[in-house]
Each structure stands twice: as C-alpha cells, then as structure tokens.
Amino acid sequence: MDRGGIRRRLALGAAVLAASGGLALLASGTAQADANSCAGREVRTLSFDTGVTHVYRDNGYVCAITVARRAGTTQTMSVSVQARGNRPVADTGSYRYQAGPVTVHAGHRCVWIKGSVGRSSVSSGWILC
C-alpha cells in the first residue's frame, strides 16, 4: 500500500473517532436531562393542594420527587425520604418545577416521605413496610 492510501485510511479513522466522540457527548447530555427522575416503578403518589410527591422503589432503594402543580414560577419546594432508623435525606430550595430526586437505601425498612410546595405539604407516615 502506498503512503497516500495509508494517509487516507488514517484520516478516515480520525473522522470516525471524532464523530463517535461527538455522539458520546450528545448521549451524555441526554442522560443528564433524564437525571431529574427516579429509577424503578412508582409505588405511591402523595397529592396535596400545590403539588404531588411521587415515590419510586427499585431493588431496596426508595426515591421521591415533589412536582409543583403550577410550574414556571420560582417557589420554595422540598422533598425528603427517611428510612426507619436513619436520618432523613432532603432537597429543599427555590425551584420552578420540582424538588429532588432524593434516593435512600431502605432495604425492607419502612420509609417516611415528606413533600412541600409553598405553604402546602404532605407527610406520608411510615409506609412501604
């Protein structure tokens, strides 16, 4: 093979490598956009006046998200998950759409879920025992 053929093959290989790197970056951006949700199946929906807290379970992990009914305006929101015997893990702040996700390893223990949007809130008590 002459040197021109080798150069063409190297250039083609570099172009393919660059294109695959670009696709990898696009795919990671998509994964980050999907990071605002919980893994597993939804096991509870806790509704209240200004929002809804969704609870998911997957292989011993419990995850929760609080979503505002009126999205778009910044308001104080929170979500917390506490496995029995542990401290609660919470996400509290000013958000436009949702607080969370918050995930804890609960195993087969009961969990206590709390969610709030503005002045309205929900508290589950011990569930998923």
Same domain, 71 and 122: yes
Exposed e or buried b per residue across 59-91, where buried means at least 16 C-beta atoms within 10 angstroms of its C-beta: eebbbbbbbbeeeeeebebbbbbbbeeeeebbb
Same domain, 12 and 49: no
Structure confidence at residue 31 as a pLDDT band (50, 70, 90): very low
Between 33 and 126, the more confident residue is 126
Domain total in the chain? 2
- Model confidence pLDDT, tens digit, residues 50-86: 999 999 999 999 999 999 999 899 999 999 999 999 9
- Model confidence pLDDT, tens digit, residues 36-48: 699 999 999 999 9
Same domain, 18 and 78: no
pTM above 0.75, yes or no: no
- CATH code where residue 94 lies: 2.60.40
Same domain, 55 and 30: no
Same domain, 56 and 81: yes
Domain that holds residue 106: 38-127
Same domain, 45 and 29: no
How far from 129 is each of 58, 60, 83, 126, CA to CA, in Å? 14, 12, 10, 7
Same domain, 19 and 49: no
- For residue 24, pLDDT over 60 is answered with no
Same domain, 63 and 81: yes
Same domain, 49 and 19: no
**What's the mean pLDDT when you consider all of the chain?**
83
